[in-house]
A and B are shown apart, each in its own frame.
Chain A
């Protein structure tokens, strides 16, 4: 505690076992953060309390809220925002950008393969069981060519920085990854609260996401369409990501619709408008596969559009992301990512994978059961941080319980070493000071026909509770503005 014993950093205790994003191992402020640190140190604790309120009000006034699914009730919350931005230097970012793009492309090849020739399975690289036991494999997609050959138009890749200072990918989300609207709102909120800090850094914009998304959607328009009519379909106002759906539609300048606003006639999709039906060509759907079309999937779903799948399979409308992508964002598939990248792209993986044990393999299951206290146990098919057990946080009884659960259905679980997420100074209201909290990073990658885009920025999620490792918003996480710096600082 020498350099940084300024008012708001007084109680900042660097944990030498963790990678601290702003302080190096000698407690010196890392170069990239030096200016920001000086700027922030000029403010008193009181200033931050005031700025914190201002930022909160900014979110509240924009109506940026989300919902948490509890055991009994659904709660509406403001997404907690932190005033201290995360900064990523240009060289480091280039590696991330190349790495996430590589993964998205490899996953797209993989999806094409498992819905066509299945060569990666026939050659024994990925076991058939992972596909045949996956609830997310859609038989209806077998043999179908999606427009432009693209399945995962939008990917959200989650990364962490481990104590070794290296980035690791935690998962690839290629169903309906959310969070990008918060990236943009965080930038807005930080600019409102602390505009001056942006004068000292050359930061890439994040507000170009929507225009790039629209361009990507337009690249996968059906054949014979000149200027495609794109829409965003949402499950409705009760969905936890409704704000994002409405934000993206507004920012792209396209309609936000619900299932009941669309209908299918002669295998074409139309939107009901006050001036009559209007043909729809590309649908950015934020509805899960099983709810898309009651004629084909869950028959009682009122969220989707009856006949939509047939319109899609006849090539008259494009669905983004393609139905059936879930088979590749299974956590068990994740563990084969290094092999998948090598197989399709003939490249070495740019980003690290966390080493993973498959409970479906008897020898690995044995290791997992014996070393459970040093591992994280994850269900392969749950999203949002639900159902995760962290070995060293469990009581003896809980360990036994987890063991039984895993033994009962080993295929459902994987285990990974406990990764120590890097920490970042985070303003803690109760203590009126900055304290280290764990962070991760969600990046957003777009793939279209002959076009690709990685958002230069991302969602840095922060676990607000001390020591907590799970950063998902549904588990009480907040987020930070994330700056990717331009080359010429």
Chain B
């Protein structure tokens, strides 16, 4: 059954000293892909500056706002209407062949997926972990086990980590938020040779899932024969009908929801909230 989503993203930026100008880029627009279709989007700001649409370095759609007058605070509101199509991941992975481990190690596959096999600052595995891959079961089953392992071993807790927290620290305190768990998942999967990427998006929390009322993060892995499959280690879920994808990258630093250049001195603060409402589409 398809789901009908209404998503609202609101943010407020405040500046200690008046800013003389800025360029903000928002990476918050849900992408249209095989499993989701963006029906409409709108974006407004309190400075009444016209919105430009652009792309980030990985070709995901962005909004841009470029005020030229000075300001101290600014509010942004985005609304999206989207249809999420029902998808059966198990059908996809049924295509996985027994050759998948050989395929994973072939130079052709590794070259194609090189970007998502490389270590980054945030996704380098600092030490061995207890989780081990078992080649007697499929890659997909292993990744489901990894998903469950992170969910069980680590506790969701806000304010103990931030966007720069490295995996050493996460492994030590065994706590973190969705970004941290996504980075850990990516590091372990890549370490085994499975191309993995960080996904930024929205989570429908109607069922009481973890993810706060913020942007959510999960992982996509490229399984030979099956393609990119989404795993959400924060909730031990496959990313299917509750996950609305915005963008992907190697790690968080490729897809923060807001990037900006602001001509101002002093501190600044950004606060934002996300609301996701869903109802089943009447056919």
Stretch at the interface among B10-18, B84-92, B109-117, B222-230: B109-117
- Are A118 and B261 interface neighbours, CB within 8 A? no
Tell whether B36 is near chain A: CB-to-CB under 8 Å: no
The CA-CA distance from A306 to B65 in the complex, in Å, is: 12
The CA-CA distance from A266 to B55 in the complex, in Å, is: 10
Stretch at the interface among B56-64, B156-164, B177-185: B56-64
Closest B residue, CB atoms, query A118: B111
Tell whether A432 is near chain B: CB-to-CB under 8 Å: no
- Are B108 and A122 interface neighbours, CB within 8 A? yes
Contacts of A263 in B (CB 8 A): 66
Contacts of A314 in B (CB 8 A): 54-55
- Are B112 and A139 interface neighbours, CB within 8 A? no
- Are A121 and B115 interface neighbours, CB within 8 A? no
Stretch at the interface among A89-97, A124-132, A175-183, A350-358: A124-132
Tell whether A428 is near chain B: CB-to-CB under 8 Å: no
The CA-CA distance from A206 to B107 in the complex, in Å, is: 46
Tell whether B169 is near chain A: CB-to-CB under 8 Å: no
The CA-CA distance from A313 to B62 in the complex, in Å, is: 14
Tell whether B141 is near chain A: CB-to-CB under 8 Å: no
- Are B56 and A132 interface neighbours, CB within 8 A? no
Tell whether B52 is near chain A: CB-to-CB under 8 Å: yes
Tell whether B250 is near chain A: CB-to-CB under 8 Å: yes
Tell whether A307 is near chain B: CB-to-CB under 8 Å: yes
Contact partner of A122 (CB less than 8 A), chosen from B62, B64, B111, is: B111
Tell whether A226 is near chain B: CB-to-CB under 8 Å: no
- Are B107 and A266 interface neighbours, CB within 8 A? no
- Are A265 and B57 interface neighbours, CB within 8 A? no
Tell whether A296 is near chain B: CB-to-CB under 8 Å: yes
- Are B112 and A267 interface neighbours, CB within 8 A? no
Q: Please judge, given known A-B contacts A132-B117, A265-B66, A295-B259, whether A313 and B59 are in contact too, CB under 8 Å.
A: yes
The CA-CA distance from A306 to B54 in the complex, in Å, is: 12
Q: Please judge, given known A-B contacts A118-B111, A121-B107, A310-B54, whether A295 and B25 are in contact too, CB under 8 Å.
A: yes
- Are B23 and A139 interface neighbours, CB within 8 A? no
- Are B57 and A296 interface neighbours, CB within 8 A? yes
The CA-CA distance from A479 to B283 in the complex, in Å, is: 79
Give chain A interface residues in 104-121, CB to chain B under 8 Å. Answer: 118, 121
Tell whether B145 is near chain A: CB-to-CB under 8 Å: no
Q: Mark B37-77, 1 if CB is under 8 A from A, else 0.
A: 00000000000000010111111001010100000000000
Give chain B interface residues in 91-112, CB to chain A under 8 Å. Answer: 107-108, 110-112
Tell whether B81 is near chain A: CB-to-CB under 8 Å: no
Tell whether B6 is near chain A: CB-to-CB under 8 Å: no
Tell whether B118 is near chain A: CB-to-CB under 8 Å: yes
Q: Number of contact residues on B: which range applies? A: 20 to 34
Contacts of A139 in B (CB 8 A): 57-58, 115, 250, 254
- Are B261 and A294 interface neighbours, CB within 8 A? yes
Q: Please judge, given known A-B contacts A294-B261, A295-B259, whether A313 and B55 are in contact too, CB under 8 Å.
A: yes
The CA-CA distance from A132 to B64 in the complex, in Å, is: 32
- Are A128 and B111 interface neighbours, CB within 8 A? yes
> Distance in Å from the Cβ of B43 to the closest Cβ of chain A?
15
The CA-CA distance from A121 to B111 in the complex, in Å, is: 7
Name the prevailing secondary structure of the B interface residues: mixed
The CA-CA distance from A420 to B250 in the complex, in Å, is: 45
- Are B66 and A128 interface neighbours, CB within 8 A? no
Contacts of B66 in A (CB 8 A): 263, 265
Contacts of B254 in A (CB 8 A): 139
Tell whether A299 is near chain B: CB-to-CB under 8 Å: yes
- Are A299 and B59 interface neighbours, CB within 8 A? no
Contacts of A140 in B (CB 8 A): 57-58
The CA-CA distance from A118 to B114 in the complex, in Å, is: 10
Tell whether A392 is near chain B: CB-to-CB under 8 Å: no
Tell whether A142 is near chain B: CB-to-CB under 8 Å: yes
- Are A295 and B55 interface neighbours, CB within 8 A? no
- Are B114 and A132 interface neighbours, CB within 8 A? yes
> Distance in Å from the Cβ of B258 to the closest Cβ of chain A?
11
Tell whether A309 is near chain B: CB-to-CB under 8 Å: yes
Contacts of A132 in B (CB 8 A): 114, 117-118
Contacts of A310 in B (CB 8 A): 54-57, 62
> Distance in Å from the Cβ of A308 to the closest Cβ of chain B?
11
Chain B CB within 10 Å, residue with most, of A142, A266, A295: A295
The CA-CA distance from A294 to B25 in the complex, in Å, is: 11
- Are B57 and A128 interface neighbours, CB within 8 A? no
The CA-CA distance from A474 to B261 in the complex, in Å, is: 34
The CA-CA distance from A132 to B107 in the complex, in Å, is: 12
Give chain B interface residues in 236-271, CB to chain A under 8 Å. Answer: 250, 254, 259, 261
The CA-CA distance from A142 to B197 in the complex, in Å, is: 15
The CA-CA distance from A264 to B53 in the complex, in Å, is: 12
> Distance in Å from the Cβ of A339 to the closest Cβ of chain B?
16
The CA-CA distance from A131 to B115 in the complex, in Å, is: 10
- Are B56 and A307 interface neighbours, CB within 8 A? no
- Are A307 and B54 interface neighbours, CB within 8 A? yes
> Distance in Å from the Cβ of A287 to the closest Cβ of chain B?
16
> Distance in Å from the Cβ of B24 to the closest Cβ of chain A?
9
The CA-CA distance from A124 to B115 in the complex, in Å, is: 18
Contacts of B54 in A (CB 8 A): 266-267, 307, 310, 314
Contacts of A307 in B (CB 8 A): 23, 25, 54, 64
Closest A residue, CB atoms, query B117: A132
Closest B residue, CB atoms, query A304: B261
Contact partner of B57 (CB less than 8 A), chosen from A264, A294, A309, is: A309
- Are A295 and B261 interface neighbours, CB within 8 A? yes
Contacts of B117 in A (CB 8 A): 132
The CA-CA distance from A262 to B198 in the complex, in Å, is: 33
Contacts of B261 in A (CB 8 A): 294-295, 299, 306
> Distance in Å from the Cβ of A328 to the closest Cβ of chain B?
15
The CA-CA distance from A299 to B54 in the complex, in Å, is: 18
**Shortest 6 CB-CB distances between A and B: which pairs?**
A140-B57, A118-B111, A121-B111, A306-B23, A306-B261, A310-B54
10 A-B pairs (CB sep. < 8 Å) = A118-B112, A124-B107, A140-B58, A142-B115, A265-B52, A267-B52, A267-B54, A294-B261, A295-B23, A310-B57
B residues with CB within 8 A of A: 23, 25, 52, 54-59, 62, 64, 66, 107-108, 110-112, 114-115, 117-118, 250, 254, 259, 261
